[in-house]
Amino acid sequence: ICQLAHRISRLERALQLDKMITASGGKIFATSGKKADFHTTLKKCKEAGGSIATPSNEGENNAILHLVKNFNTYTYLGIRESLTPSKFQLLNGTQLSYTNWHLNEPSGKGKE
């Protein structure tokens, strides 16, 4: 177990140097840095044993933002519009417990 923990720690440090991962609240947020559509992203996350990032607090939101800024691109979140227009929920249908939208967002115009 100690050897495994040491290997994991080394891998995390290497990925952090390449700015491919960041962590917050016990969660690890990762990116390949490649552009993809939502369904490909969802598939790749599942293949890796994870899910599309969904911030549940400010720290996690900042961790995701760190990756967005590092790669100078947008990101997909594990959030979708509910049956009620302008209301959003997690992909599994659970109500959001945290949001940090810009003023008048999401507006449904352009890249959200």
pLDDT per position as a tens digit, 53-78: 999 999 999 999 999 998 888 889 99
CATH number at residue 37: 3.10.100.10
Residue 98 lies in a domain: no
pLDDT confidence band for 112 (50 / 70 / 90): low
Residue 103 lies in a domain: no
Residue 84 lies in a domain: yes
CA distances in angstroms from 3 to 15, 17, 79, listed in the order given? 18, 21, 37
Number of domains comprising the chain: 1
Residue 10 lies in a domain: yes
Of 72, 76, 62, whose CA–CA distance to 27 is shortest? Answer: 62
Q: What is the mean pLDDT of the chain?
A: 86
Residue 108 lies in a domain: no
Residue 102 lies in a domain: no
Domain that residue 44 falls in: 1-90
